Structure 1
Amino acid sequence: MTDAGLMAIAAGIAVLVGVGAGISTGLSTGRAVEAIARQPEASGKITTALLLGNAFAEATAVYGLLIAIMILGKIAG
């Protein structure tokens, strides 16, 4: 296999980081809804923690996408 082929596989693996971010965002949102249903008076604190955690998860997905773009730039260049 050529170097370009291996780099393309690496870019595909880097994009798979988004799958983990999607799963974690879905799970955390579900748990936050359950927590708010059990304790509605704490919804402000729960929502704040949820948004902060989701922001970190999505930032990880963006980093994976950027790495993939950088790798693909090496193939083209």
Structure 2
Amino acid sequence: MTGITPEAFVLGLSGLGAGLAMICGIGTGIGQGYAAGRAVEGVARQPEAQSDILKIMLVGQGVSETPTIFAFVVSIILMFANPLVGLL
């Protein structure tokens, strides 16, 4: 009877976790697109407020991008520098 090795199990689940972490990018893309669309609508209504709207939108874009960057870093660590394998 052959079984799966603990290293293979941890690596397989790490790959699955890395893939699930990258799902975060879907929500970020939708949210940033919505924010940019609303900013364009705001500038169309009040062109004189363009600089204020642009500043607020860019800060919001940066804040909403942060979780995706963290998820990407976690995915890279799980795939290439997995600390869990050393615990076996």
Under a length normalisation based on structure 1, what TM-score does the superposition of the two structures give?
0.88
Post-superposition offset of 1:76: 7.8
Identity of aligned residues (%): 35
Larger Rg: 2
For 1:18-45, what per-residue CA distance to the aligned partner results, in whole angstroms no more than 9, with x for missing partners? 1111111100000000011011111111
> Is the helix fraction higher in 1 or 2?
1
Residue segments in structure 2 that go unaligned for 5+ positions in a row? none
> For the aligned residues, what is the CA RMSD?
1.8
Pick from 16, 41, 44: which aligns with 1:9? 16
Moved over 4 A (4+): none
Would you say how many aligned residue pairs link Structure 1 and Structure 2? 77
Q: Tell me, which stretches of 5 or more residues in structure 1 are unaligned?
A: none
2:38 match: secondary structure: helix
Q: TM-score, normalised by structure 2?
A: 0.78
| 2:60 aligns with one of 53, 62, 73 | 53
